């Protein structure tokens, strides 16, 4: 199934209103490490994302997309010296117990070379995790690298196109779309008509995909005129960093279908 570039603002606002969880329930309070230079973290401002005049970060944001409890996950981050001078930077590691940051400290970083930073993630429950890596640079062009970890649906397969069987005038043809989740978290979903047509209906338009379960979305085509008709649906899953899915459904109705139904009857 194809990925659409954007999410309707209405769903985002409705979803946020439905889950007014305080931040403390989502992210553990920051725990300072003994090796972190506190004065750099507490006295400096970190506003640059992705790059400044001397350092480029790749990737600019670290994502742990999907996980299993009890396993350890790893992502690699590179801090590249894009300046023409030898520089010295300070890397302030992640602070919560769910992430660990490892790298080999260099006294000076020459142009073109980089720090390779390994970020380890230790999930212990099904929820969203957040942390950050801070990079203190000269001239106070300080960088920050957000670190996100979150459960996702990995086995959601929705076709980009569905062709329904031809239907007689006023008769209905239905097709079920299965939304399946194999992880231990419920996910909300919504279905929107991007290209509506009165011959098509969908039930339900919203609901919950249960943990380790599935839900069926029923598409019904009831033609009121002869010809080929089409509708486009947008399916949105309430998971972090998710993009909506697009599905185009086609149905048809012709006079010979009336004759065929009459012969069968």
Total structural domains within the chain: 2
Q: Specify if 26 maps to a domain.
A: no
pLDDT 10s per residue in the chain (265 long)?
A: 433 444 444 444 443 444 333 333 344 444 444 444 457 777 777 888 999 989 999 999 999 998 999 899 999 999 999 999 998 888 999 999 999 999 988 778 899 999 999 999 999 999 999 999 999 887 768 999 999 999 998 888 899 999 999 999 999 999 999 999 988 889 999 999 999 999 999 999 999 999 999 999 999 999 999 999 999 999 999 888 888 999 999 999 987 755 455 444 5
Rounded distance, CA 249 to CA 164, Å? 7
Q: Tell whether 208 is covered by a domain.
A: yes
Give yes or no: residues 100 and 178 share one domain. no
Domain's final residue, options 135, 150, 165: 150
Residues 70 and 6 in one domain: no
Examine residue 141 and state whether it is found in any structural domain, yes or no. yes
249 and 145 in a common domain = no
Does residue 126 fall inside a structural domain? yes
Q: Which CATH number is 157's domain given?
A: 2.60.40.10
pTM here is 0.72
Q: Does one domain contain both 42 and 144?
A: yes
Q: Which of 95, 127, 150 is the last residue of a domain?
A: 150
CB 119 within 8 A of CB 94: yes
Task: Indicate whether 158 and 81 sit together in one domain.
Answer: no
Provide the residue range defining the domain that includes 111.
31-150
In Å, what is the CA distance from 121 to each residue of 91, 97, 98, 167, 242? 18, 9, 6, 53, 20
Q: How far is CA 183 from the centre of its chain?
A: 15
**Do residue 104 and residue 75 come from a single domain?**
yes
Which segments of the chain are extended strands (E)?
2-3, 55-58, 62-65, 73-81, 90-92, 99-102, 114-121, 129-136, 143-150, 161-163, 173-180, 187-195, 200-203, 206-209, 214-221, 227-237, 245-253
**137-154 tens-digit pLDDT:** 877 689 999 999 999 988
pLDDT at residue number 260: 52
Q: Does a structural domain hold residue 80?
A: yes
Picking from 110, 133, 150, the residue at the C-terminal end of a domain is 150
pLDDT at 184: 87
Domain-located, residue 18: no
- What's residue 243's pLDDT? 87
The pLDDT tens digits of the residues spanning 18-59 come to 433 333 334 444 444 444 445 777 777 788 899 998 999 999
Residues 240 and 144 in one domain: no
Whether residues 243 and 168 fall in one domain: yes
Task: Say if 23 falls within a structural domain.
Answer: no
pLDDT of res. 143: 93
Domain check: are 66 and 128 in the same one? yes
Same structural domain, 222 and 163:
yes
Q: Is residue 25 part of a domain?
A: no
Residues 40 and 145 in one domain: yes
């Amino acid at each position: 199934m194809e990925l659409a570039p954007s999410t309707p603002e209405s769903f985002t606002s409705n979803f946020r209103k439905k889950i007014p969880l305080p931040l403390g329930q989502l992210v553990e309070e920051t725990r300072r490490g003994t090796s972190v230079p506190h004065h750099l973290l507490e006295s400096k401002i970190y506003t640059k994302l992705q790059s400044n005049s001397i350092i480029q970060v790749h990737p600019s944001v670290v994502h742990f997309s999907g996980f299993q409890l009890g396993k350890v996950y790893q992502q690699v981050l590179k801090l590249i010296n894009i300046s023409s001078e030898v520089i010295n930077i300070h890397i302030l590691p992640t602070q919560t117990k769910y992430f660990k940051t490892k790298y080999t400290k260099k006294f000076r970083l020459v142009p073109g070379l980089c720090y390779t930073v390994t970020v380890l993630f230790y999930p212990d429950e099904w929820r969203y995790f957040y942390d950050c890596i801070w990079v203190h640079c000269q001239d106070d062009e300080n960088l920050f690298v957000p670190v996100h970890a979150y459960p996702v649906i990995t086995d959601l397969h929705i076709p980009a196109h569905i062709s329904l069987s031809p239907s007689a005038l006023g008769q209905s043809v239905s097709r079920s779309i299965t939304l399946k989740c194999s992880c231990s978290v419920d996910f909300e979903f919504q279905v929107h008509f991007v290209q509506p047509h009165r011959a098509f209906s969908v039930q339900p338009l919203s609901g919950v995909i249960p943990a380790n379960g599935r839900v069926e979305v029923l598409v019904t085509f009831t033609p009121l005129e002869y010809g080929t008709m089409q509708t486009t649906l947008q399916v949105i899953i309430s998971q972090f960093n998710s993009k909506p899915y697009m599905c185009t459904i086609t149905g048809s109705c012709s006079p010979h279908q009336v004759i065929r139904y009459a012969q069968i009857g």
